[in-house]
Chains A and B, each alone.
Chain A
Amino acid sequence: MSTRTDAPHDQRERSAAYAAFAQVFRYPAASAEESVAYLATFDPAVARGAIRLHESAYSEHERAAIHEELLRYYEYFGVRRAPGAELPDHLVVELEFMQFLCWREERARERGEDVTDLRRAQYDFLVRHVSKLVRSMVAHREVADEAYRQVISELSDFIDGDLQAIGAAAEA
């Protein structure tokens, strides 16, 4: 199926989109064909010039500091990293957290609560973390795999759109 990724206003759809993107960047261990492409694109141990999926790989900030802020965000909104999950600054973890925030927003809306703070949190989290990471990934030039290049670009567009939407909503 297809979905609009520029300015989704439906929280259920946003949440699902983040979930879907998170799924894309998870290691597809089950499929030999997909795993080859995935590793060639994202695993620096096996592919020269691979795109790093960790925010700390691009940041001038200390890895531990990034971990701390992320873990603080996660805890602030009531969740914690599961055992065996990727490190807190991995794209998949950050996308899942956005999925979770969107979903919380949806439930809050259902209850008729004010979601301004939740939206602000999503905006900040995108700006401070997800968007920075994804922009660095986009800037990375050597992406051999056409499908992944496209999906990174789609993710980037989606996040830009989402940022705009949240930003506009926050101003409105």
Chain B
Amino acid sequence: MEQATVRRQVAMVMDLNKCLGCHTCSVACKTMWTRRPGMQGMWWNTVNTAPGAGTPRNWETMGGGFRAGEPIAGHPPAENEFGEAWEFNYDEVFYGGRQDATLKPLSTEQPAWGPNWDEDVGGGEYPNAYYFYLPRICNHCTRPACLEACPRAAISKRSEDGIVLIDEERCRGYRFCAEACPYKKIYYNAVTGTSQKCIFCLPRVEQGVATACARQCPGRVRFLGYLDDVDGPIYKLVKQFRVALPLHPEYGTEPNVFYVPPLSPPMLDANGDPTGNRRIPAQYLEQLFGPEVHAALERIAGEMQRRRDGEPSELMDLLISRRWLDMFKGFERHPREVGAK
């Protein structure tokens, strides 16, 4: 299939050393975009504890993407793999005139999965338990598997900013896109009969306002800008310092969301004394971010040490971003100023 020609690409870097797992991004996105009919269970932005089954459950085993340029078969996630947006028996509990009523999901006695079900579970064995938070949105890939898979040509990649959009007028809800997306970030809306996903806050970004997930992030995790802006943080983190890496590069779609990989406290030996090894296994991080992750981690740790030694570090200054708006160079406008949606 023909590859989209993109003049510029907006991109995001998420710093996992700063992610708090607080889900302000998820809520910001929900409140902004996914409250309309059929979107109740949609979280275009998710945050999961890693290692873990993630959202949708076990998404990394569902296929999609490319290997050696060829599409890999996949299957679309089922609704229960995303997790249910439970409704609760508020009426009964608050107004039922029953002292013994318990607030519970209406649909099930045994709730079994949700979009953040395995929060803070992670891996390892005490005291060498380990985990970190992995926020995810649509990667707005340079080679979007969803786009290539759509028989209706309902998915496009905008040439002006590289944002990948589903045209809901054209979409017939066949869900080939959800099969093909290896990140499983496409949802199906049963009310409209269409597929839906993160739109990179297009109406905001078009007017120079950072995405809701980035601007509302209290942990200051997310940098946003054009990938080719050599003075911007994205270019520097991804290309210059090479500390921001795509998730699962082997999926072959060339994501435009990049991650600063997580450091972690040292493992403890049998006596409880710290060892020289970080507790998140390097092998696991390599599975997620590819072999470049080792060099990225060493670069970050090395620059941190420079700061401890009183030396300057442009990389650390960048990751700190003492002026918050520097994280969104080119997208610093206040949302209040741009008005309509």
- Report A-B touching, CB under 8 Å: yes
A1 proximal to B (CB < 8 A): no
Number of interface residues of B (CB under 8 A): 14
Are B35 and A44 within 8 A (Cβ)?
no
Q: Are B96 and A48 closer than 8 Å at their CB atoms?
A: yes
Per-residue A-contact encoding for B5-43, CB less than 8 Å = 1, 0 else: 000000000000000000000000001000111111000
Segment among A8-16, A56-64, A143-151 that sits at the interface with chain B? A56-64
A93 sits at the interface (CB 8 A)? no
Q: Is the interface of A mostly helix, strand, loop or mixed?
A: loop
Check B95 for interface membership: any CB of A closer than 8 A.
yes
Which residue of A45, A46, A64 is within 8 Å of B31 (Cβ)?
A64
Q: CB-CB < 8 A to A60: which residues of B?
A: 40, 87
Chain B residues with CB under 8 Å of A86's CB are none
A72 to chain B, nearest CB (A): 11
User: Chain B: which residue is nearest A59 at the CB level?
Assistant: B37
Known: A60-B40, A61-B40, A62-B40. A68 touches B95 (CB 8 A): no
B91 within 8 A of A: yes
* B40 in contact with A44 (CB, 8 Å): no
- The reply to whether A50 and B37 contact each other, CB–CB distance below 8 Å, is no
Q: Is the CB of B37 within 8 A of A44?
A: no
| Interface of chain A residues 102 through 158 with chain B (CB within 8 A) | none
A50 in complex: contacting residue of B31, B40, B95, B98, CB < 8 Å: B95
Complex contact A45–B35 (CB within 8 A): no
Q: Is A65 part of the binding interface, using a Cβ–Cβ cutoff of 8 Å? A: yes
Please report the C-alpha to C-alpha distance between residue A64 and residue B37 in the assembled complex, in whole angstroms. 10
Complex contacts, B35 vs chain A, CB 8 Å: 61-62, 64-65, 68
Q: With A62-B40, A65-B37 in contact, is A48–B31 under 8 Å at CB?
A: no
Q: Within B84-135, which residues are at the interface with A (CB < 8 Å)?
A: 87, 91, 94-98
CB distance from B90 to the nearest CB of A (A): 9
Q: Mark A32-68, 1 if CB is under 8 A from B, else 0.
A: 0000000000001111111010000100111011001
Chain B residue numbers with a CB within 8 Å of A62 are: 35-36, 39-40
Inter-subunit contact A61/B36 (CB<8 Å) = yes
CB <8 Å contact, B40 and A48: no
- Nearest A-chain residue to B41, judged by Cβ: A60
CB pair A48 B36 closer than 8 Å:
no
Q: Beta-carbon contacts of B284-310 to A below 8 Å, as 1s and 0s?
A: 000000000000000000000000000
A-B complex: 9 closest residue pairs judged by Cβ atoms: A62-B35, A44-B95, A65-B35, A48-B97, A65-B36, A61-B37, A64-B35, A48-B96, A45-B95
Jot down 29 A-B pairs with beta carbons below 8 A, ordered by A.
Answer: A44-B91, A44-B94, A44-B95, A45-B94, A45-B95, A46-B95, A48-B95, A48-B96, A48-B98, A49-B96, A50-B95, A52-B91, A60-B40, A60-B87, A61-B35, A61-B36, A61-B38, A61-B40, A62-B35, A62-B36, A62-B40, A64-B31, A64-B35, A65-B35, A65-B36, A65-B37, A65-B39, A68-B35, A68-B36
Q: A45-B95, A60-B87, A64-B31 are in contact. List 15 more A-B contacts (CB 8 A).
A: A44-B91, A44-B95, A45-B94, A46-B95, A48-B96, A48-B98, A49-B96, A50-B95, A52-B91, A61-B35, A61-B36, A61-B40, A62-B36, A62-B39, A68-B35
